[in-house]
Structure 1
Amino acid sequence: MINSELPNLNIEEKIIKVNGDISSIFYSKGKELGKGGFAQVYELTNLETKFKFAAKIIKKSSLAEGRTLQKLMTEIKIHRSVHHKGIVKFNNFFEDSENIYILLELCNNGSLSEKLKRRRRLTELEAQNYLLQLHSIIKYLHSLKILHRDIKLSNLLLNEFMELKLGDFGLATKIEFEGERKRTICGTPNYIAPEVLSSKIGHSFEADIWSFGVVAYTLIIGKPPFESDDVKVMYMRIRTNLYAFPSNVPISSEARDLIEKILQTDPGNRLTLDQIAEHPFFNRNTIPKNLPLSTLCIPPSKNYLKKFEGFLDESKTRHDDVLSFRDEMCSLSLKTFTDHKELEQSPRNSLLHRLHICTSELKLESNIIHVTQWLDYSEKYGLGYKLSNGATGVSFNDQSQIIIYSNQKAHYYEKSHSPSLPNEFLFTNPPPELHKKLAILQQFTKHLKSKHPVLINPSPYVKKWFSNNIATIFQLSNKNTHIVFNDKIEILIQVPIKTIIFLEKNTQTTYMAKKILESGNEELIKRMRLAKNILSG
């Protein structure tokens, strides 16, 4: 059941001063960011400074075994000892009667795992960017004799500047002497190195390099190389190095060669970090320092890719008509919009919790279809939404779509199918394979308090969407783009008729696209620059 209530508990950190006096710092507990093992991660806000942290919260009751507590103390000791721009910053830790709290740097743009779910797979230029950053992080850790042992997409986070950050040092260990081999079998099944599975052989730094290779394969191909629903089968594939490159997924010879030379069963045959840095995959073209914010949801634009000499194979990058409207905005400045910190701190941002219903303030004529309400539950299912015509739909994490457009009929759009050929079905007789998705749709409909509409014609639907710390953006199948900024300002770009509806402080104005610069509305111009930056990269 989806719970729309945000936890609203204050947490107290007691600080004992040298003279014995006790002072307190209070934090408000916000949205859940993740969970795993013995811990849950929540957003915590210092009530005095308003500074936000990602807080790893561990119940003391789960630490009954002495070894579990020892592992936690090792995690804290290692994490607080490392200082690198590519590692999630360790701030401090404290405890109360029930929990231990570890306060970490908050990375607003999620993990590479979440990004891959939205994008399916990344371009090689993006992979180069992330892998070079990861290479620098691993090289730093290994220079300190630290073995991470859990390098995977869900532990690779992105901050507000799209910089990569490695987190979760729960399995990290330190090599105490030259030639030491660790023998604990640990790690995440998809990313675990073959020698880790054999406690007799033991493992060392090469295990992290293996995980680096798995990350490279996963970013470019779209799924891990040894993936299987059966863990035993997965381990068999890892031990025997049984994987392949799908024939339907384009991959350059340089990328393939890099992966093959890293995913070697014998640790001694794998590329070293220095050899990886010298590999042609990282030296064939210029690599951007940071990627556009828009790549959280859509591939880099062709114009962006052309900036990087050598990256010429555009067949690897499919770019939908997210901004076929781009030419109408060409007169706007390409200058990157940077003064957006006020948006991140705005009240609206705190409401964009995954389990909160959000509402558009646009008041439009009935023929202008837009999103009126939405509920982001992409951590598990996808986005549920309600349109202004009454239709309710779900944009699922697998990029399929389902929408109710009458009291009896619904349309289902599979990603691989033509949008003009949806699967139409009756609620009374849905296809067996859609029973689960229909049940999820009905839950969203109930939560959004929607009634089935009675429409003569099929409804538009949300074709693509994404949300970050600046805005939530919906691309509808009728080619309109609806942008809801986190401080309640909204823009509806009507591509077919080339008009823009701008909502600010309850005032709604319509502009012709070509007349934006002449409008004299500086806020509109600023927001359109930001919209262009997000959408076109």
Structure 2
Amino acid sequence: MRWELPSSSLDFFGSVKFYSPMSHSNAPELHPQIVDPFHNVTYRPGKLLGKGGFAYVYEFHDVNSDSSYACKITPRSALQKKKYYDKFVTEVTIHRGLVHPNICRVLNVFKDQMNYYIILEKCNGGTLTDLIRRRKHLTETEARFFSKRILNALWYLHDLYIIHRDIKTSNIFLMEDFDVKVGDFGLAVKCETPEELHWTMCGTPNFLPSEVIYSHIMKRKASGRGPDPNLDEDCVNLCHQLLPAYSGQGHSFSADMWSFGCLVFSMIYGRPPFEAADIKTTYKRIVRCDFSFPGSISVSEDLKNFIKGLLTPDPRKRFTVKECLDHSWLNPSKYFIPESLPPRIISEPYEVPPLCSASPTRNMQMTINMAKNAGGTDGRFIAATPQAIGGTEHIPTPGTANFYKPQNAILTTKSAAGASRASTAMAMQNVGSAQGVVNKYGINEAEYPQIDPPCYIMSWVDYSNRYGFAYQISNGSIGVIFNDESAAILSPNALIVDYSPSLLDAAFDRALFEEGTTILSEKKFKLLSFFRDYLENRSIVPIPAADRPKEDEELKRVIEQERMNNQEIDFKRLTKGLPLPQLFLKKWKLYDDGTLCLLFNTKVFQVNFADHSKVVVAHRSVTFMSEKREIYTYPSEYLKDDRFSFKELRRRVDRARKYYEIIKAARPVDSLAQYRYNKDSTKKSASGSSTRQLGQGGE
């Protein structure tokens, strides 16, 4: 089943969205085939699915598998201003790290000379806006189905300290079976703490909370500027009169809850609650909280109470995600909540009578009977008894859910682990009496808490057919093993370079990077600079400067100070904070099946498997990175505990140990032996082609 409506990407009833750097008339230039060189995938662009202020969305087909995706394309020309580029980087950084059944998944990110490409799972059911436009309005039963899944996504986001800031019907995408996928993270922001506040006025006017408006007014006033032209003097006065003072001090997670309240209202009544003829009037209605429930549609008092709890002007009194999920309107003991919806709801309502509350046993039997009578096309139902809650539901609720805690593979060691611990702590606090957070591999995080992952190689490129093997470490360092078995390592902020003429001796010299030719040949210095630019830019989201260690900056300041004092510089003496040598790759080996083995000078061992999963075995820890970039790091001693049932981690570690026995006995030159053998052999062949692909790389 597949259905589509025009204007599927337009904002609800003509509402406008802030931050629109690009005209819709400037569609991106697309070739007949788009190649992602780093993942070796070729796409064929299809029809235009939608467009917005920041990007265009096209249907993309994988020419090899014929799989269909949605591709969000942003022309490079639209991101020439730093603020637009930074905003784009923030969107990608946040979105690509999210793994949840109710969030649209980022599958791949790459770029070429003209555009940036974000490959997304394709939602063939259109958007919630499409469905509402076709049906005019939805029933309470349908609204409960969608609301519960949106709340599950919001729970997950808020648990990770992420505010979406643009929750609305056109950003709720639907699969063919009407499963929900929250998308468009163009305005999302990640907070460092739960108390963090933000001031930017962004979002869609019809779904904008009052504190976003008031905070914008107060911030502009503090800087001596006037507010947005659509916020006239009457609106400013209303804010001062009707809203609590702290509402003008920034917005937080509660902003998403207000927008969600507007979304629920829109599902039931077919329009946003504060919609008016112009934006100025809309803003005033929002500040006054001026909305009503039309009498033309009969609804339950529970629904009215639910919406009122969300559309509360005071953000501190507004319903949270947990309060929404605990509300009687979403109580399966009182109302039927279907697990899925049938195709016929495109054109006709799906109604289920409210359950009687007199007999739980009779209610449960009623549910079972209705499910049997409905058959496969009408969907399945959640059993009505409290004991069954969470046991048979298609999407688990936070009280009983298995929490996903993804860690983006580009995060540095401290930020990745810190986010994991903060996420776990917040989830535990919200769950209350639950036994603990259980990840998708069945590990109870309360019983087996994670620790900081070690530094690991996050991207690499193999140019050993000409120059050598280059890599980037998760702390920001760039290293190269040249074909003559020499090695260079550039510090995280590209200020200090260490060089060894032979990895067999591993004796390193040090210099400021700007003076690198004092210890490297000019050719190797140029190659190191080339690989630095290549590896820094090949990833769509570079490691933020704030997340890189600062020891090399401090060391450079000391060196410059000693030079000012006419002191002789002894780099071997000046190693405090930045040991000589820095962390570097000692050996590497790439197998024919794509498996890559990496051994650091600290004896930390990393294996990148052919399926893009990774394992890092350190002295006191083991780290598993799934093909979806989720990071799990545990103390090695857990492997001695039979109750630690992370089977995938154990399996990968066992395989890594076998590879380690091979590489630890090898000399550095053995890492290149296979290629050199192939090179010598192919010289004798007529074709003269190398068996190793030029410029092969990965993350």
Query: What's the offset of the Cα at 1:297?
Result: 2.3
| CA deviation string 1:252-295 (max 9, x = no partner) | 11101111111011101111222111211111212111111211
Query: What's the offset of the Cα at 1:310?
Result: 5.0
User: Residue type matched to 1:33 in 2?
Assistant: L
- The answer as to whether partners of 2:269 and 2:297 remain within 8 angstroms in 1 is yes
Distance 2:104 2:77 in 1: 26
Query: What's the offset of the Cα at 1:231?
Result: 0.7
User: Residue type matched to 1:309 in 2?
Assistant: L
Look up the match of 1:81.
97
Query: What's the offset of the Cα at 1:333?
Result: 10
Look up the match of 1:526.
none
After the TM superposition, which segments of 4 or more aligned residues of structure 1 sit over 6 Å from their partners? none
- Which of residues 262, 287, 299 is equivalent to 1:251? 299
- Which of residues 309, 319, 322 is equivalent to 2:355? 309
Distance 1:104 1:153 in 2: 19
SS at match of 1:68: helix
Q: Which has the higher strand share?
A: 1
- Which of residues 130, 139, 151 is equivalent to 1:123? 139
Distance 2:347 2:86 in 1: 40
Look up the match of 2:195.
179
- Which of residues 108, 131, 146 is equivalent to 1:92? 108
- The answer as to whether partners of 1:8 and 1:30 remain within 8 angstroms in 2 is no
RMSD of aligned residue pairs (Cα, Å):
2.3
Look up the match of 1:407.
none
Query: What's the offset of the Cα at 1:168?
Result: 0.4
Look up the match of 1:158.
174
- Which of residues 217, 226, 238 is equivalent to 2:286? 238
Look up the match of 1:103.
119
Query: Residues 220 and 335 (structure 1 numbering): CA distance in 2 closer, same or farther, change over 3 Å?
Result: closer
Q: Which of 1 and 2 has greater Rg?
A: 2
Distance 1:214 1:333 in 2: 32
Distance 1:163 1:61 in 2: 36
Query: Residues 310 and 101 (structure 1 numbering): CA distance in 2 closer, same or farther, change over 3 Å?
Result: farther
Distance 1:251 1:191 in 2: 21
Query: Residues 310 and 147 (structure 1 numbering): CA distance in 2 closer, same or farther, change over 3 Å?
Result: farther
Distance 2:279 2:374 in 1: 52
1:42 is aligned to 2:58: yes
Q: Which segment drifts farther, 142-151 or 283-292?
A: 283-292
1:11 is aligned to 2:33: yes
Distance 1:37 1:335 in 2: 41
User: Residue type matched to 1:252 in 2?
Assistant: S
Look up the match of 1:471.
none
Distance 1:291 1:333 in 2: 11
SS at match of 2:196: coil
- Which of residues 260, 282, 285 is equivalent to 1:212? 260
- The answer as to whether partners of 2:161 and 2:191 remain within 8 angstroms in 1 is yes
Look up the match of 1:392.
none
SS at match of 1:43: strand
Query: What's the offset of the Cα at 1:132?
Result: 0.6
User: Residue type matched to 1:288 in 2?
Assistant: P
Query: Residues 335 and 272 (structure 1 numbering): CA distance in 2 closer, same or farther, change over 3 Å?
Result: closer
Runs of at least 5 residues in structure 1 that lack an aligned partner in the other structure: 17-22, 312-331, 339-537
SS at match of 2:43: strand
Query: What's the offset of the Cα at 1:160?
Result: 2.1
- The answer as to whether partners of 2:34 and 2:44 remain within 8 angstroms in 1 is no
Query: What's the offset of the Cα at 1:296?
Result: 2.1
Aligned length: 303
How do residues 385-424 of structure 1 correspond to structure 2 at under 5 angstroms?
A: none
User: Residue type matched to 2:339 in 1?
Assistant: K
SS at match of 1:224: coil
Distance 2:130 2:316 in 1: 33
- The answer as to whether partners of 1:195 and 1:203 remain within 8 angstroms in 2 is yes
1:222 is aligned to 2:270: yes
Query: What's the offset of the Cα at 1:212?
Result: 1.1
Q: Which segment drifts farther, 151-160 or 25-34?
A: 25-34
| CA deviation string 1:168-213 (max 9, x = no partner) | 0000001112411101110011111111112342100000011111
How do residues 525-536 of structure 1 correspond to structure 2 at under 5 angstroms?
A: none
Query: What's the offset of the Cα at 1:337?
Result: 10
How do residues 429-444 of structure 1 correspond to structure 2 at under 5 angstroms?
A: none
User: Residue type matched to 1:169 in 2?
Assistant: F
Query: Residues 271 and 68 (structure 1 numbering): CA distance in 2 closer, same or farther, change over 3 Å?
Result: same
- The answer as to whether partners of 1:86 and 1:134 remain within 8 angstroms in 2 is yes
Distance 2:162 2:63 in 1: 35
Distance 2:335 2:254 in 1: 27
User: Residue type matched to 2:101 in 1?
Assistant: K
SS at match of 2:178: coil
Query: What's the offset of the Cα at 1:249?
Result: 1.9
Distance 1:155 1:96 in 2: 27
User: Residue type matched to 1:84 in 2?
Assistant: H
Query: Residues 335 and 143 (structure 1 numbering): CA distance in 2 closer, same or farther, change over 3 Å?
Result: closer
Distance 1:299 1:278 in 2: 26
Query: What's the offset of the Cα at 1:250?
Result: 1.5
- The answer as to whether partners of 2:342 and 2:378 remain within 8 angstroms in 1 is no
User: Residue type matched to 1:25 in 2?
Assistant: V
- The answer as to whether partners of 1:12 and 1:24 remain within 8 angstroms in 2 is no
Distance 1:298 1:337 in 2: 13
| CA deviation string 1:25-81 (max 9, x = no partner) | 321111111111121111100111111111001111111111101100100000011
Query: What's the offset of the Cα at 1:309?
Result: 2.7
User: Residue type matched to 1:227 in 2?
Assistant: E
User: Residue type matched to 2:34 in 1?
Assistant: E
Query: Residues 182 and 335 (structure 1 numbering): CA distance in 2 closer, same or farther, change over 3 Å?
Result: closer
- The answer as to whether partners of 1:109 and 1:160 remain within 8 angstroms in 2 is yes
SS at match of 1:295: helix
Query: What's the offset of the Cα at 1:24?
Result: 4.4
Distance 2:205 2:157 in 1: 22
Distance 2:273 2:86 in 1: 34
Distance 2:102 2:184 in 1: 13
How do residues 130-141 of structure 1 correspond to structure 2 at under 5 angstroms?
A: 130-141=146-157
Query: What's the offset of the Cα at 1:336?
Result: 4.2
Look up the match of 1:422.
none
Distance 2:84 2:376 in 1: 51
Look up the match of 1:55.
71
Distance 1:337 1:176 in 2: 44
Q: Which segment drifts farther, 110-119 or 235-244?
A: 235-244
1:265 is aligned to 2:298: no
Query: Residues 252 and 337 (structure 1 numbering): CA distance in 2 closer, same or farther, change over 3 Å?
Result: closer
Q: Percent identity?
A: 38
Query: Residues 84 and 61 (structure 1 numbering): CA distance in 2 closer, same or farther, change over 3 Å?
Result: same
Look up the match of 2:344.
294
- The answer as to whether partners of 1:185 and 1:198 remain within 8 angstroms in 2 is no
User: Residue type matched to 1:47 in 2?
Assistant: V
Query: Residues 53 and 81 (structure 1 numbering): CA distance in 2 closer, same or farther, change over 3 Å?
Result: same
Query: What's the offset of the Cα at 1:221?
Result: 1.2
User: Residue type matched to 1:15 in 2?
Assistant: P
- The answer as to whether partners of 2:172 and 2:183 remain within 8 angstroms in 1 is yes
- The answer as to whether partners of 1:258 and 1:276 remain within 8 angstroms in 2 is yes
Calculate the TM-score normalised by the size of structure 2.
0.42
| CA deviation string 1:461-517 (max 9, x = no partner) | xxxxxxxxxxxxxxxxxxxxxxxxxxxxxxxxxxxxxxxxxxxxxxxxxxxxxxxxx
- The answer as to whether partners of 2:161 and 2:194 remain within 8 angstroms in 1 is no
User: Residue type matched to 2:107 in 1?
Assistant: N
User: Residue type matched to 2:190 in 1?
Assistant: K
